[in-house]
Amino acid sequence: MKYVEVEEAIGLPGLRLVLSAGVPGPWGEAAKYIFQVKRIPYTAVRQVVGTESEVLRRWTGHSNAPIAIYEDEPPRAGWAEILALAERLAAEPALVPADPALRVRMFGLAHEICGEEGFGWQRRLMLLGVLGTGNDTTRTLGRRYGFTEKAAAAAPGRTAEILLLLSRQLREQRAAGSSYFVGERLSAVDLYWAAFALMLEPLPDELCKLHPRMRESYALRDPAVRAAADGLLLEHRDFIYRTHLSLPLAF
């Protein structure tokens, strides 16, 4: 992927998407998938993991990624805000169900995956717990995710609960004849899970090239959480990639 620097991006028109360059962070990959499926063009803007960009903060109010900036509108950094922008810019294919009951279910499941206290949040707490309080990454990310030793100790249990919920939803959908998390068609929650399943088990290196340390950190080895990880979750991830998406870091 070709990136532009923040200073250049500020003066560009259209949609700019700030991404952590060269890193398949699940929130950033999910944002990319949403715009890819909707065929919405954007300019990728470089953000470097673990650094603070004063220029980026002055422009957007944030120093992390992803951040979506459309024309002169306010920057959007939350997963639901980015999805809402994409739905407005391209109504089809819709990634938010029109049916109110399905829409509520989709947003509830999506929050459990990528919202505060969700799957991605808990997996970050687990990682920080392994690194320990003296690590630079713990000090940097710990503030963002509310890291404490108590929170890290509780994270595996919460992670297992979320995986069981997602597995149950997929099995109910399969029994009803659907290949998707909600309804009969692709929705945003399918894309979120494809991106965040990296934190359950990364794709093989030939499909998603990761630095060995990053691959090691993403691998989930907690026995209780692994026991909750129904194989259908990774089957669903693979189905979504085969059917709808490019591979991580490939676009």
- pLDDT tens for the 251 residues of the chain, in order: 799 999 999 999 999 999 998 888 899 999 999 999 999 999 999 999 877 789 999 999 998 899 999 999 999 999 999 999 999 999 999 999 999 999 999 999 999 999 999 999 999 898 887 665 555 555 566 667 677 888 889 999 999 999 999 999 999 999 999 999 999 999 999 999 999 998 998 887 777 777 777 777 777 778 889 889 899 999 999 999 999 987 665 43
CA 36 to chain centre: 14
Contact in structure between 78 and 107 (CB atoms under 8 Å): no
Domain 6-89 in CATH 3.40.30.10? The answer is yes
Task: Give me the half-sphere count of Cα atoms (radius 13 Å) on the Cβ side of residue 219.
Answer: 10
Contact in structure between 24 and 246 (CB atoms under 8 Å): no
Fold of 100-244: Glutathione S-transferase Yfyf (Class Pi); Chain A, domain 2 (1.20.1050)
Q: Is 64 helix (H, G, I), strand (E, B) or coil?
A: coil
Residue ranges per domain, the chain?
Answer: 6-89, 100-244
Contact in structure between 47 and 18 (CB atoms under 8 Å): yes
Q: Please state, in angstroms and rounded to a whole number, the distance separating the CA atoms of residues 83 and 97.
A: 12
Region of residue 177 (left: phi > 0; alpha: psi -120 to 50; beta: else): left
Q: Please tell me if the domain spanning 6-89 has the same topology as the one spanning 100-244.
A: no
